[in-house]
Amino acid sequence: MLADDLVNEGAIKKGKFILTSGKESTFYVDLKEFNTNTGNLSRVADEISRMMKEEAAAGVELGAVPILVAVALKKNIPYSIIRKERQHGNVSLLIGNHVSGKKVAIVEDVVTTGGSVLRAAALLRDHGAIVENVYCVVDREEGGEALLLENGIKLHSLVRISSVVH
């Protein structure tokens, strides 16, 4: 079971952490290291691919990118990477603009409050995408699902944190 593997392989870390959302937490979900194991990454991509029906996918750098690419390869669909901030060179926030007029799934590693996913959805929608679904490995169950639903987006998760951290 994926939830057990996350715990057994140290992807759920205990301690004191500041999350991307700015919130403080007593645990951290680190899928970056977990997904460097190609067996883990392949399994995650298989599970997300089975749920996903969209014709393109997108994800926010950094944690989502390996999952996003693996899913896109398995489904043979185009993908786009969303930068968190404008950088040197090409200052576009969207790499791989394959979204206009398409149903685009957002792929994410971990969803907490849903803020970064909502910003990604807004960017994709501004580029003509139809965004209705987000697929994540872990839902931290800290308001993300409700926020996304309020904005017309359904969250699908492989693992809910309440099944792992008690």
Is the pLDDT assigned to residue 153 strictly greater than 90?
A: yes
CATH number of 30-163: 3.40.50.2020
CB 149 within 8 A of CB 117: no
Of 66, 107, 62, the C-alpha closest to 87 is: 62
Is the pLDDT assigned to residue 98 strictly greater than 90?
A: no
pLDDT of 20: 75
pLDDT of 166: 73
pLDDT of 40: 97
Burial (CB count <10 Å: 0-12, 13-18, 19+), residue 97:
middle
Q: How many CB atoms lie within 10 A of CB 24?
A: 9
Burial (CB count <10 Å: 0-12, 13-18, 19+), residue 121:
buried
Is the pLDDT assigned to residue 77 strictly greater than 80?
A: yes
pLDDT of 89: 63
139: confidence class by pLDDT, cuts 50, 70, 90: very high
- Range of weakest confidence among 16-20, 50-54, 160-164: 16-20
The residue ranges of every structural domain in the chain are 30-163
Q: Rounded to whole angstroms, how far apart are CA atoms 129 and 132?
A: 10
97: confidence class by pLDDT, cuts 50, 70, 90: confident
Task: Specify the pTM.
Answer: 0.93
